[in-house]
Structure 1
Amino acid sequence: MDTKRRKLLCWGAAGMAALMAGARAAAADAPRIQVTARKFQFTPNPIVIPRGVDVILEITAVDFMHGFSVPELKFRTDLMPGRVTRIPLRINHAGPVDFLCDNFCGDGHEEMNGRILVTA
Protein backbone atom coordinates (compact mmCIF):
# COMPACT_ATOMS: atom_id res chain seq x y z
CA MET A 1 0.00 0.00 0.00
CA ASP A 2 1.45 3.39 -0.93
CA THR A 3 2.22 6.01 1.72
CA LYS A 4 -0.56 8.40 0.66
CA ARG A 5 -3.23 5.71 0.90
CA ARG A 6 -1.88 4.48 4.25
CA LYS A 7 -2.06 8.04 5.66
CA LEU A 8 -5.63 8.44 4.39
CA LEU A 9 -6.63 5.27 6.20
CA CYS A 10 -4.92 6.43 9.43
CA TRP A 11 -6.84 9.70 9.48
CA GLY A 12 -10.26 8.11 9.47
CA ALA A 13 -13.29 9.35 7.58
CA ALA A 14 -14.09 12.32 9.83
CA GLY A 15 -10.51 13.58 9.95
CA MET A 16 -10.10 13.19 6.21
CA ALA A 17 -13.37 15.02 5.53
CA ALA A 18 -12.27 17.89 7.77
CA LEU A 19 -8.86 18.04 6.11
CA MET A 20 -10.31 17.99 2.59
CA ALA A 21 -12.83 20.69 3.50
CA GLY A 22 -9.96 22.76 4.85
CA ALA A 23 -7.87 22.12 1.75
CA ARG A 24 -10.70 23.20 -0.57
CA ALA A 25 -11.43 26.26 1.56
CA ALA A 26 -7.82 27.38 2.05
CA ALA A 27 -7.13 30.23 -0.32
CA ALA A 28 -3.75 30.56 -1.96
CA ASP A 29 -3.20 33.67 0.15
CA ALA A 30 -4.19 32.04 3.47
CA PRO A 31 -1.85 33.08 6.29
CA ARG A 32 0.93 30.60 6.92
CA ILE A 33 2.05 29.83 10.45
CA GLN A 34 5.55 28.40 10.85
CA VAL A 35 5.81 25.70 13.51
CA THR A 36 8.92 23.78 14.55
CA ALA A 37 8.83 20.32 16.12
CA ARG A 38 11.92 19.19 18.03
CA LYS A 39 12.55 16.99 21.02
CA PHE A 40 10.48 17.70 23.17
CA GLN A 41 8.54 20.76 22.11
CA PHE A 42 6.54 22.54 19.46
CA THR A 43 7.34 26.20 18.80
CA PRO A 44 5.37 28.44 18.95
CA ASN A 45 3.19 27.10 21.68
CA PRO A 46 0.41 28.09 21.81
CA ILE A 47 -0.44 28.59 18.14
CA VAL A 48 -2.98 31.42 17.92
CA ILE A 49 -5.46 31.52 15.04
CA PRO A 50 -8.71 33.43 14.50
CA ARG A 51 -12.00 31.51 14.52
CA GLY A 52 -13.38 30.65 11.08
CA VAL A 53 -10.32 31.85 9.16
CA ASP A 54 -8.33 29.65 6.78
CA VAL A 55 -4.70 29.24 7.82
CA ILE A 56 -1.97 26.86 6.78
CA LEU A 57 0.27 25.34 9.43
CA GLU A 58 3.74 24.75 8.01
CA ILE A 59 5.37 22.34 10.44
CA THR A 60 9.03 21.34 10.19
CA ALA A 61 10.51 18.54 12.30
CA VAL A 62 14.21 19.20 12.82
CA ASP A 63 15.51 16.10 14.60
CA PHE A 64 13.16 13.12 14.44
CA MET A 65 9.99 11.81 12.77
CA HIS A 66 7.50 13.35 15.16
CA GLY A 67 3.76 12.94 14.99
CA PHE A 68 1.16 15.69 14.96
CA SER A 69 -2.16 14.56 16.37
CA VAL A 70 -5.21 16.73 17.06
CA PRO A 71 -7.67 14.32 18.72
CA GLU A 72 -10.56 16.82 18.84
CA LEU A 73 -10.35 17.22 15.04
CA LYS A 74 -9.69 13.49 14.49
CA PHE A 75 -6.53 14.36 12.58
CA ARG A 76 -2.96 13.06 12.65
CA THR A 77 0.07 13.00 10.40
CA ASP A 78 3.77 12.21 10.54
CA LEU A 79 6.31 15.04 10.43
CA MET A 80 9.35 13.95 8.45
CA PRO A 81 12.70 15.49 9.52
CA GLY A 82 13.81 18.39 7.35
CA ARG A 83 10.55 18.53 5.37
CA VAL A 84 7.75 21.05 5.67
CA THR A 85 4.33 19.49 6.28
CA ARG A 86 1.52 21.84 5.25
CA ILE A 87 -1.82 21.48 7.02
CA PRO A 88 -4.74 23.62 5.85
CA LEU A 89 -6.88 24.43 8.84
CA ARG A 90 -10.06 26.27 9.72
CA ILE A 91 -11.59 25.94 13.17
CA ASN A 92 -15.08 27.40 13.48
CA HIS A 93 -15.34 27.52 17.27
CA ALA A 94 -13.44 29.68 19.75
CA GLY A 95 -11.39 28.17 22.54
CA PRO A 96 -8.44 25.84 23.04
CA VAL A 97 -7.68 22.80 20.86
CA ASP A 98 -4.94 20.49 22.15
CA PHE A 99 -2.41 18.64 19.99
CA LEU A 100 0.46 16.26 20.71
CA CYS A 101 3.33 14.27 19.28
CA ASP A 102 2.22 10.66 19.03
CA ASN A 103 5.52 9.13 17.83
CA PHE A 104 7.66 8.19 20.82
CA CYS A 105 10.77 10.37 20.64
CA GLY A 106 12.58 9.56 23.89
CA ASP A 107 12.53 10.59 27.54
CA GLY A 108 10.48 13.77 27.69
CA HIS A 109 8.10 12.66 24.91
CA GLU A 110 5.11 12.79 27.24
CA GLU A 111 5.67 16.56 27.55
CA MET A 112 5.62 17.13 23.77
CA ASN A 113 2.20 18.65 23.34
CA GLY A 114 0.67 22.00 22.61
CA ARG A 115 -2.42 24.05 22.17
CA ILE A 116 -4.08 25.93 19.36
CA LEU A 117 -5.87 28.97 20.78
CA VAL A 118 -8.79 29.90 18.55
CA THR A 119 -9.75 33.53 19.15
CA ALA A 120 -13.31 34.81 18.86
Structure 2
Amino acid sequence: MTIDTNPRRRQLLGWTVAAVAAPLAVTLGATQGDAATPREIVIRARRFVFTPDKIALKAGEPVVLVLIAEDVVMGLSAPDLGVRAGMPPGRTVRVPLTPARPGTYGFLCDIFCGSGHENMSGTFVVTA
Protein backbone atom coordinates (compact mmCIF):
# COMPACT_ATOMS: atom_id res chain seq x y z
CA MET A 1 0.00 0.00 0.00
CA THR A 2 1.34 3.42 -0.93
CA ILE A 3 0.43 6.67 0.70
CA ASP A 4 -0.04 9.66 -1.57
CA THR A 5 2.11 12.48 -0.21
CA ASN A 6 1.24 14.99 -2.93
CA PRO A 7 -0.23 17.94 -0.98
CA ARG A 8 -2.32 19.17 -3.92
CA ARG A 9 -3.95 15.76 -4.42
CA ARG A 10 -4.64 15.42 -0.68
CA GLN A 11 -6.24 18.89 -0.65
CA LEU A 12 -8.50 17.97 -3.59
CA LEU A 13 -9.45 14.74 -1.83
CA GLY A 14 -10.33 16.70 1.32
CA TRP A 15 -12.54 19.08 -0.67
CA THR A 16 -14.26 16.18 -2.38
CA VAL A 17 -15.02 14.49 0.93
CA ALA A 18 -16.32 17.79 2.35
CA ALA A 19 -18.51 18.39 -0.70
CA VAL A 20 -20.10 14.95 -0.35
CA ALA A 21 -20.36 14.98 3.46
CA ALA A 22 -22.01 18.41 3.87
CA PRO A 23 -25.28 17.60 2.02
CA LEU A 24 -25.34 14.20 3.71
CA ALA A 25 -25.06 15.83 7.14
CA VAL A 26 -27.90 18.22 6.32
CA THR A 27 -30.09 15.31 5.18
CA LEU A 28 -29.31 13.28 8.29
CA GLY A 29 -29.94 16.29 10.52
CA ALA A 30 -33.36 16.83 8.97
CA THR A 31 -34.21 13.18 9.53
CA GLN A 32 -33.17 13.33 13.17
CA GLY A 33 -35.14 16.56 13.69
CA ASP A 34 -38.32 14.86 12.42
CA ALA A 35 -37.96 12.19 15.11
CA ALA A 36 -37.72 14.72 17.94
CA THR A 37 -38.16 13.65 21.50
CA PRO A 38 -41.84 13.89 22.49
CA ARG A 39 -42.80 16.75 24.79
CA GLU A 40 -43.27 15.61 28.40
CA ILE A 41 -46.28 16.77 30.40
CA VAL A 42 -46.13 16.18 34.14
CA ILE A 43 -49.50 15.52 35.79
CA ARG A 44 -49.55 15.27 39.57
CA ALA A 45 -52.45 13.69 41.42
CA ARG A 46 -53.32 14.12 45.08
CA ARG A 47 -56.59 13.88 46.87
CA PHE A 48 -58.80 15.15 45.05
CA VAL A 49 -57.16 17.09 42.26
CA PHE A 50 -55.02 16.72 39.15
CA THR A 51 -52.41 19.43 38.57
CA PRO A 52 -52.70 20.73 35.93
CA ASP A 53 -56.34 19.94 35.28
CA LYS A 54 -56.42 21.59 31.83
CA ILE A 55 -53.79 20.51 29.31
CA ALA A 56 -53.29 21.94 25.81
CA LEU A 57 -52.18 19.53 23.07
CA LYS A 58 -51.84 19.66 19.29
CA ALA A 59 -53.37 17.05 17.02
CA GLY A 60 -50.68 14.72 15.72
CA GLU A 61 -48.06 15.88 18.22
CA PRO A 62 -46.60 12.99 20.22
CA VAL A 63 -46.34 13.65 23.95
CA VAL A 64 -45.53 11.61 27.02
CA LEU A 65 -47.73 12.02 30.08
CA VAL A 66 -45.58 11.76 33.20
CA LEU A 67 -47.97 10.71 35.95
CA ILE A 68 -47.15 11.10 39.65
CA ALA A 69 -49.49 10.23 42.55
CA GLU A 70 -48.49 12.10 45.67
CA ASP A 71 -50.47 10.39 48.41
CA VAL A 72 -52.61 7.35 47.53
CA VAL A 73 -53.18 5.03 44.57
CA MET A 74 -54.89 6.92 41.76
CA GLY A 75 -55.80 6.22 38.17
CA LEU A 76 -55.95 8.42 35.11
CA SER A 77 -58.47 7.56 32.43
CA ALA A 78 -59.24 9.46 29.22
CA PRO A 79 -61.47 6.97 27.40
CA ASP A 80 -61.97 9.07 24.25
CA LEU A 81 -58.19 9.21 23.77
CA GLY A 82 -57.59 5.55 24.66
CA VAL A 83 -55.56 6.42 27.77
CA ARG A 84 -55.72 4.43 31.01
CA ALA A 85 -52.99 4.17 33.65
CA GLY A 86 -52.71 3.27 37.30
CA MET A 87 -50.72 5.69 39.44
CA PRO A 88 -49.12 4.10 42.51
CA PRO A 89 -47.71 6.63 44.98
CA GLY A 90 -43.95 7.03 44.93
CA ARG A 91 -43.60 5.83 41.32
CA THR A 92 -43.55 7.71 38.04
CA VAL A 93 -45.70 6.30 35.24
CA ARG A 94 -45.01 7.36 31.65
CA VAL A 95 -47.81 7.13 29.07
CA PRO A 96 -47.28 7.98 25.38
CA LEU A 97 -50.10 9.86 23.67
CA THR A 98 -50.60 11.27 20.18
CA PRO A 99 -54.07 12.81 19.85
CA ALA A 100 -55.48 12.26 16.36
CA ARG A 101 -57.97 15.11 16.03
CA PRO A 102 -58.94 18.42 17.64
CA GLY A 103 -61.49 18.50 20.42
CA THR A 104 -61.97 18.65 24.17
CA TYR A 105 -61.47 15.34 25.95
CA GLY A 106 -62.16 14.69 29.61
CA PHE A 107 -59.97 12.68 31.96
CA LEU A 108 -60.72 11.48 35.45
CA CYS A 109 -59.46 9.44 38.37
CA ASP A 110 -60.87 5.95 37.97
CA ILE A 111 -59.63 4.46 41.25
CA PHE A 112 -61.65 5.44 44.32
CA CYS A 113 -59.43 7.62 46.49
CA GLY A 114 -61.91 8.82 49.11
CA SER A 115 -64.71 11.31 49.56
CA GLY A 116 -64.24 13.92 46.83
CA HIS A 117 -63.07 11.36 44.27
CA GLU A 118 -66.13 11.94 42.08
CA ASN A 119 -64.98 15.52 41.34
CA MET A 120 -61.40 14.59 40.40
CA SER A 121 -61.21 15.34 36.68
CA GLY A 122 -59.63 17.47 34.00
CA THR A 123 -59.58 18.15 30.27
CA PHE A 124 -57.23 17.79 27.33
CA VAL A 125 -57.82 20.55 24.80
CA VAL A 126 -56.50 19.40 21.42
CA THR A 127 -56.06 22.01 18.70
CA ALA A 128 -55.23 21.61 15.01
Q: Give the structure-1-normalised TM-score.
A: 0.74
Separation in 2, partners of 1:74, 1:44: 20
Mapping for residues 16-31 of structure 1, pairs under 5 Å? 29-31=37-39
- Counterpart amino acid of residue 86 in structure 1: R
Whether the 8 Å contact between 2:81 and 2:99 is mirrored in structure 1 is: no
- Counterpart amino acid of residue 32 in structure 1: E
Whether the 8 Å contact between 2:43 and 2:68 is mirrored in structure 1 is: yes
Moved more, 68-77 or 108-117: 68-77
Identity %: 45
Separation in 2, partners of 1:81, 1:28: 30
Whether the 8 Å contact between 2:85 and 2:95 is mirrored in structure 1 is: no
The answer for unaligned runs of 5 or more in structure 1 is 1-26
3-state DSSP class of the match of 2:118? helix
- 1:56 match: 64
Mapping for residues 6-25 of structure 1, pairs under 5 Å? none
Give the CA deviation at 1:119.
1.4
Aligned partner (choices 79, 83, 87) of residue 91 of structure 2? 83
Q: Give the structure-2-normalised TM-score.
A: 0.69
Give the CA deviation at 1:97.
0.9
1:61-118: CA deviations, max 9, x gaps?
0001101111213432210101111010000111111111011111100000111111
3-state DSSP class of the match of 1:34? strand
Segments of 4+ moved more than 6 angstroms: none
Task: Name which structure has the greater RCO, CA cutoff 8 Å, separation 6+.
Answer: 1
- 1:22 match: none
Higher-Rg member (1/2) = 2
Give the CA deviation at 1:28.
6.3
- Counterpart amino acid of residue 36 in structure 1: R
Please provide the CA RMSD for this pair: 1.3
